[in-house]
Structure 1
Amino acid sequence: MAKITTECECSVPIHEAKECFQCGIPITGKPLQYTVDGKKENFCCFGCYLIYKTTGVRGEESTAVAFLGKFGFGYFFAMLVFMLSTYMYGAHLTPDDPEAQAFVGFIKYVILILATPVMLLLGVPILRNAFSGGRINLNTDTLIVLGSFSAYFLSVYSVFTDKPSVYFETATMILVLMTFGRYIETSSRAKASNFMKELLKLSPQKAVVIRDGKETEVNIEEIKVGDTVKIIPGEKIPADGVVVEGQGHVDESLLTGETKPVLKKVGDELYTGTTNIDGAFKIKVNKPSEDWTLNRFIQIMKEIRATKAPINRIADTIAYYFLPVIVTIAISAGIYWYLQDGFEKALIVFMSVLLISCPCAFSIGAPLALWIGLGEAMREGIIIKGADILEKLSSVRTVFFDKTGTITDRNLQVSHVKALNENIIKLACCLERNSEHPVGKSIVSYCVQRGLTEDCKVEDFKVHFGYGIEGIVDGKKIYVGSKNYMRKLGFGIPEEVAQIDRKAEENGEIPVFIAVEDRVAGIVVLTQSIRKEAPKVFDVLKKLKIKVGVLTGDTPYFAKVIKEKLGIKDVRAGLMPQDKLKAIDEEKKKGRVVAMVGDGINDAPALIRADIGIAMGCGTDLTRESANISLLSDDLRKVPLAVLLAKKVRKVIYTNMFWAFIYNIIGIGLAVSGKLTPIFAALAMVLSSAFVIANSIRVKNW
């Protein structure tokens, strides 16, 4: 005996987290395996395998094409059924004409023959989903199956027993309308995921690999770590690797958002999917394909699409309990009308209640808007790592910014250098090569420009967040960091270095100290400038009624400059990492959703502690786990842009939920009162889904 369960499709456990080769959705239950190009692939159902074999197109687009084809076939036969049924219903006008009545009896069988393939093609797949795994799944498909097949089998019985209750047109039109509705839903989801498909197209399918001195063209999948790949001008970079020969400019706008071409030479790294403009390169592949930047990007996209926002989970929960309630209402209404007007009226009301209450609009209202929103964010170079993050972002009330590399330009300029000798600067440069901090990168850039670089052996490299770095360089213990770091180490600062430090603080500059073994031996002073877009960014956030603050470990002097130029009242200077965490916790205790914006490296603790961590400049580093949101470029305007998008998505979702709720209340009321026919109930359900889809598309106009 089949076991009855009350679960929607989204609540079924995922088997080994496998994805369908055809449609790409997680497979529920045990996957079906079919051979494709000599390799066994997993399919969620035979239908997906059939679609792949007939169309050759994979993903939701092929599913949409299949739904459209089924709709066309079903619509043709259903219209014939509808027209013949109209003639049959008109036969009561000539009850005394034996020839007319005989012809009507013949037409009933013709209609049965025309309706049956529609039920088989459109109805059986839905029937399988409603009764699968040896159990009855009380889901939206069950409602459709109960309505359409009840009408069909009653009509078959009536044909063979010469009864008047023939509803083939109702049974077939229900399925045709449902199929068309699912075509609309599937095509909308396909459009919402087009950005990921575009990413997949960015990687070339072939590459020229040099093995044993010979150039061989291979598929991308055949490239291995250690291979040397040849790239000519105009080609897409096929793999991540280090340049071993050649020089030229590369367009990395896909990953960094920067339109200016980047000069690449020996020792630099090239990334998959970027475009070689004018260089002839040979690169050595330095990581496996799953770790290539573009592939990592695509994997993140898949993980994002698998997440659900709280509002989405609420919708799923409501649908979970909504379905058994509707079945109960439908049965109760059917019994009432059976007692009042007989079986025929009871069946009509029963089917109408089931069809008008099918929660398709409710089920797609939240996820579709979220998918479109996440897709739009990706197009803007804003990687929001989950639908739940997007929803939470819409409620943010406080945004804290780090200063260096965030509201100031990432590239700092060295204005003054003082050291006991030139070798100390070289040792500091060797140590800073291991750092990702903007200060470290600026020092290395300064040394490279002046030829103060050399190969050094660096050991025991350590980062002390908020203070500096340390390590053993060519056998000498080197420390590079702030004044507080030197004090923490117990090192005294020579007077000539202290004078430079005081002057730097007065000018709002950044002093960085260099210590060798147990004493301060040099100082590097860096100047910084506020990003030109910063004033407008903070103005927009204030207009959105979001509190803005700056948390920095820098001196109070530059904090004063920020207050004056940007009009920010809450600027906290001289902070250690734990102080930043304390500031975030204080805001969270007030019940405010807090976001922290930083560079994702030295601000990792603060990004984790905040409700939403936003890391800037992540174009070629998408593995920064500390951030909930990664901005591919250093453009500060992306922060308010992300907030505005999140608010737009939330507004659309609430509109969808409100419409679906009101629609169901009104529709169920009409159906229970017997004022709605099954065909109009099915049509109303399709129109409701169309409204939700059209409303969700408004996210694109944010």
Structure 2
Amino acid sequence: MSAQQNCFHCHEPVLTGQQFTLDFEQQNRVFCCAGCHAVADTIIQQGLADYYRFRTEPATKADAMPADLAAELASFDSPDVLADLSISQGEISKIELSISGISCAACAWLIERRLKQLTGLYSISVNSSTQRAMIEWYPGQLKLSQILQQIASLGYQASPFAADQEEQTYKEELKRYLKRLAVSGVLSMQVMMLAIALYFGEWTGIDPEHQDYLRWISMLLTTPVAFYAALPFVTSAWRSIHNRKMNMDVPVSLAIYYTYFASAYATLTESGEVYFESVCMFVFFLQLGKFFEYRARSKARDATSNLLKIMPVTATQLIDGQPQNTSAKRLQVGDLILVKAGETLPADGEVVSGSSSVDESMLTGEYLPISKSVGATVLAGSINHDGVLQVQVTQPLALSRLGQIIALQQDTLNQKPELAEKTDQLAQYFVERLLLIALATFLVWFFWIDASRAFWVTLSVLVATCPCALALATPTAITCSLARLNRKHILIKNNKVLDRLPELQQIVFDKTGTLTQGRFSVHKVHLLQAGLDQNQLLNLIAHVERHSEHPIGKAFLPYLRDTLALSDVQIHIGAGISAMHQGQQIRVGHADFCQAEPVDGAMVYLAINQTVLAAIELQDEVRPEVPALLNALKAKGYQLGLLTGDSSSQAERLASQLGFDWLEKGCSPEQKVTVLQQLAAKQQQKIMMVGDGINDSACFHAADVSVTMQGSTDLAKNQADVLILRNDLSLLTTLLAGGEQAARTIKQNLAWAVGYNGIIIPLAVVGLVSPYVAVLGMSFSSLLVVSNSLRLLKS
């Protein structure tokens, strides 16, 4: 048996023999399909063959370009659509595209080089990490549809990227925090140098005029830190006081400004000590934590913002019976739209004419198309496969199910960790007692012990017991945990996950696209008549299925061999396909459609002249890392469940093969939620749900922790608490371990912060801790907490 060949373009196995070949660098290159062959030929003929020499990752499998692609893309050239998508700058238009299929820097190079050959292109910049391209062109010389068509000819799928207003606002806020961080960081370094000179001057002797000079310079440098960089903490503190609830920013602001004004008073009166470096350092540490937290949220937004690329951009509206291109955003309730085969539904609506099958996998996670006829409900973002539909809009795009899910993104990214909330509660309790202790200390020292020392002893109490460590304990650990998991290709979108991970007992998996790869292939062929040639039958089925957009049909494409002439091809929605070949009627589809007796496990049947010849079992390959992952989870004591919408016997076989503790199959999204709710109520356990579709999104809300992967639907990635940025489910064990480490580090930080204050408060109250020592103690406590959190980055 000859060794298996891999496609030169995408590196997938070649099952078509030598049907698609190309000579390149004096070698015969073999391709898996016509799509990859056409893309490679385009790349080489355009003089861009260096792509194949320099790429570091295989390309994405390329589908053959439809003959009517130019007509489909022409809708992007509508003036109304261009006005919504692009920015006009004189004669030049500017647009940001989202490009799927980019796997390495060579892909970006290839796209840039090819588009630069187009007349009318002003500039192009492709970012391989975000999979986006910024393009400027002259609309009078070059159409947007031509740009998209050229990208498609290279094997990539491009669509306009519409950044929402919330994302823009978020980026502006991130810039403001970066500016404050820069101010506090740069000035902290300057003030620390002056503080060192003052400290050494006290030991070795320093002229009073020099000491005053250094103090004045320190105060001037600290002023921007106190009144600009620390502004967010003051605003938060004032808001909490106004609401009669003290949060962590209250003692933080109190410590900053008490220390600043006390040091300023000492500078003006030329008496006492100054602690400007403590103000700068404290603000810098807090700003650093805030900046890293915002960066983590920014990454979460970047990872989910490509969700917007599946939002329909254009629509064909029927006005007085005539089709007109318009922007999908402008559709209103009651409008009548025309949706052709292969197009995306631009709004939620009801079918008023026609019948077809619709792919709702981006909404449901299941890959079988759903039949739609007059009166059926269709959803924005789903793809029309076979027929032509006339749809009356019931919800505009912004209020559609897809639009509402995208609107939830901002709420998801602005949640506060439960641990941070608990720390705020502790801070409120701590602040109230601290203020009472400081007030009592001042009164006792002023009236009964030594009035001259009352102010400085009180300052020592506030500085020494300043909740720096308490304020940094949770956010630094959370930030480092997020950074560590991000580095390991795991993105935490909901910070509450860090609280819940150590408490999990049940892990529930979806099947299709989660445990399996979501690509159907032929598993077994049952020949129901004697003397049949299996390869000829599969070739016949493949030719029939070429006329369908069904995902099941793609399972037969590798078996295309000799060309067969078919006529009178008809698609029977939800049943199968019929055609004529050499005077014989061919039927491919369900058992009832082919008038066949069901065969256990079979999904597709072939009948010729009402004689059933074959029944084919399809399978969805299990991810290679799944068995080892499940064994590792069992060893850690987790209960494993399989919750799937698949009602076939394959679900039972898979559950038995992988050793799941329980199985629920044939479940609708509502039934999945019920199962999880009953499980949580009956066993009082914390549950993690791992899925890939919007049929799982309801489960995501019912579960304590929800996880999906990069290869899942964009809607699932938007809804899940955790996004694994590689299609490697084994990273689930890394996530669970990271949650345990984060919780352990936070507890250590809080224990130290509380313990330190418990020791230092009595010493400061009785006057045994000078302000200078208090600063060192506070600084050491804060640095210890930060250093302990930084250990997470090394693991």
Pairwise TM-score range, normalised by the shorter structure: 0.5 to 0.7
CA deviation profile, 1:149-176 (whole Å, cap 9, x unmatched): 235425644x5xxxxxx21xx21xx221
Read off the aligned partner of 1:450 and give its amino acid letter: L
User: Which of the residues 399, 402, 407 maps onto 2:510?
Assistant: 402
Matching residue within 278, 303, 308 for 1:177:
278
Q: Is the 8 A contact 1:514 1:521 kept in 2?
A: yes
Normalising by structure 2, what TM-score? Answer: 0.53
Q: Deviations over 1:49-88 (max 9, x none)?
A: xxxxxxxxx6766655533432333234334444555577
The question of 1:539 aligning with 2:631 is answered: yes
Counterpart mapping for 1:362-377 below 5 A: 362-377=470-485
Distance in 2 separating the partners of 1:197 and 1:631: 16
Give 1:398 deviation, angstroms: 0.6
What CA distance in whole angstroms lies between the structure 2 residues aligned with 1:186 and 1:679?
24
Unaligned runs of 5+ in 1: 1-15, 26-57, 89-103, 160-165, 204-224, 226-241, 243-298, 434-439, 455-472, 482-490, 505-509
Q: Which residue pairs with 1:443 in the alignment?
A: 553
Q: How many angstroms does 1:642 deviate by? A: 1.6
Distance (Å, rounded) in 2 between the aligned partners of 1:578 and 1:133: 41
1:691 is aligned, of 751, 770, 784, to 784
Q: Which residue among 462, 466, 479 is the counterpart of 1:358?
A: 466
1:146 aligns with 2:253: no
- Give the one of 636, 642, 649 matched to 1:550: 642
Measured in 2, the distance between the counterparts of 1:593 and 1:201 equals: 29
> Which of 592, 596, 600 is matched with 1:497 structurally?
596
Aligned residues of 1:548 and 1:570 also touching (Cα < 8 A):
yes
Matching residue's letter, 2:551:
K
Match of 1:393, SS?
helix
Q: 2:629 is aligned with what amino acid?
A: V
* Alignment-derived partner of residue 226 in structure 2: 126
Structure 1 position 381 matched with structure 2 position 473: no
What whole-Å deviation, never above 9, does each CA across 1:628-655 have from its counterpart, x for those lacking one? Answer: 3233333221222222212221221222
CA distance in 1, matches of 2:694, 2:760: 54
Counterpart CA distance in 2 for 1:555 and 1:634 is 25
- On the 8 A contact 1:619/1:633 being kept in 2, the answer is no
Matches within 5 A, 1:208-287: none
Per the TM alignment, residue 122 of structure 1 is displaced from its structure 2 partner at its CA by 0.9
1:599 to 681, 685, 692: 692
2:226, 2:260 within 8 Å by CA — same for their partners in 1? Answer: no
CA distance in 2, matches of 1:623, 1:393: 20
Note the C-alpha offset of 1:539: 2.0
How far does residue 686 in structure 1 lie from its aligned partner after superposition?
1.5
Residue 744 of structure 2 aligns to a residue in which SS?
helix
More divergent stretch after superposition (685-694 vs 134-143): 134-143
Q: Quick one: distance in 1 between partners of 2:227 and 2:737?
A: 43
Residue matched to 1:679: 772
RMSD between aligned residues:
4.8
Is 2:714 the counterpart of 1:618? no
In the TM superposition, what is the alpha-carbon distance from 1:24 to its structure 2 partner? Answer: 3.6
Give the 3 Å change call, closer, same or farther, for CA 603–678 of structure 1 in structure 2.
Answer: same
Cα 1:537/1:117, change in 2 over 3 Å: same
Deviating more after overlay: 179-188 vs 354-363: 179-188
Contact 1:418 1:522 in 2 (8 A): yes
Pairing of 1:149-168 with structure 2 (within 5 A): 149-153=261-265, 156-157=268-269, 159=270, 166-167=271-272
SS at match of 1:387: coil
1:510-549 correspondence to structure 2 within 5 Å = 511=603, 524-549=616-641
Residue among 757, 762, 770 paired with 1:664: 757
Aligned to 1:239: none
- For each residue in 1:556-594, what CA deviation from the matched residue of structure 2 results, as whole angstroms up to 9, or x when unmatched? 854554455433332344545454333212221032121
Instruction: Tell me the equivalent position of 1:318.
Output: 426
Deviation at 1:145, TM superposition (A): 2.3
Whether the 8 Å CA contact 1:177–1:683 is kept in 2: the answer is: no
**Contact 2:292–2:479 (Cα < 8 Å) also in 1:** no
CA-CA distance at 1:677 after TM superposition: 1.0
Secondary structure at 2:711's aligned position in 1?
coil
In 2, the alpha carbon distance for the partners of 1:134 and 1:511 equals: 63
Distance in 2, Cα, partners of 1:83 & 1:177 = 17
Residues 154 and 600 from structure 1, CA distance in 2 versus in 1: closer, same or farther, beyond 3 angstroms? same
Offset at 1:300?
11
Q: For the structure 1 residues 430 and 633, does the alpha-carbon distance in structure 2 shift closer, same or farther, using more than 3 Å as the test? A: farther
Question: 2-side partners of 1:199 and 1:608: how far apart?
Answer: 18
Aligned-pair distance for 1:540? 1.9
Paired residue secondary structure (2:707): strand
Q: Which residue of 2 aligns with 1:286?
A: none
Following the alignment from structure 1 to structure 2, what is the Cα–Cα distance between the partners of residues 643 and 685?
33
Measure, in 2, the Cα distance between the counterparts of 1:70 and 1:448: 65
Partner of 1:255: none
Tell me the distance in 2 between the aligned counterparts of 1:595 and 1:514: 42
Distance 1:318 1:384 in 2: 25
Q: Find the aligned partners of 2:429 and 2:658 in 1 and give their Cα distance.
A: 52
Q: Aligned partner of 1:67: which letter?
A: S
1:133 Cα offset (Å): 12
Which residue in 2 is equivalent to 1:67? 184
Residues 399, 549 of structure 1: 8 Å contact kept: yes
Stretches of structure 2 lacking an aligned partner (at least 5 in a row): 1-164, 242-249, 306-326, 328-343, 345-406, 529-536, 578-589
**In structure 1, distance between residues paired with 2:518 and 2:172:** 42
Q: Which letter does structure 1 place at the counterpart of 2:460?
A: S
**Within 2, Cα distance between the matches of 1:655 and 1:514?**
66
Corresponding residue number in structure 2 for 1:412: 520
The code of the aligned residue for 1:363 comes to A
Q: Deviations over 1:525-571 (max 9, x none)?
A: 20344333222211221233221111235468545544554333323
Deviation larger for 125-134 or 182-191: 125-134
Say if 2:539 is the partner of 1:478.
Answer: no
The CA distance in 1 between the partners of 2:213 and 2:505, in whole Å, is: 63
Following superposition, the deviation at residue 310 of structure 1 comes to 0.9
**TM superposition shift of 1:333:** 0.7
CA spacing shift, 1:549–1:76, aligned 2, 3 Å: closer
SS at match of 2:714: coil
In structure 2, what is the Cα distance between the partners aligned to 1:653 and 1:134? 23
Q: Report how far residue 614 of structure 1 moved.
A: 2.1
Give the Å deviation of 1:441.
3.2
Distance verdict in 2 for CA 1:193–1:110, change over 3 Å: same
Change in 2 beyond 3 A, CA 1:676/1:557: same
Cα gap change, 1:200 to 1:629, in 2 (>3 Å): closer
Which secondary structure state, in structure 1, belongs to the residue aligned with residue 519 of structure 2? coil
Preserved CA contact (<8 Å) 1:312 1:366:
yes
Higher RCO (CA < 8 A, seq sep 6+): 1
2: CA distance between counterparts of 1:18 and 1:338? Answer: 54
1:78 corresponds to 2:170: no
Asked if 1:644 is matched to 2:737, the reply is: yes
- TM-score (normalised: structure 1): 0.59
Name the amino acid aligned to 1:142.
Answer: L
SS at match of 2:603: strand
Query: Which residue type is aligned with residue 738 of structure 2?
Result: L
Select between 174-183 and 620-629 the one with higher mean Cα deviation: 620-629
Task: Return the offset for 1:351.
Answer: 0.3
Q: Distance in 1 between matches of 2:667 and 2:483?
A: 37
Q: Go from structure 1 to structure 2 and tell me whether the alpha carbon gap of 1:108 and 1:597 turns closer, same or farther (over 3 Å shift).
A: same
Q: Which amino acid aligns with 2:186?
A: G
The residue type equivalent to 1:140 in the other structure is: V
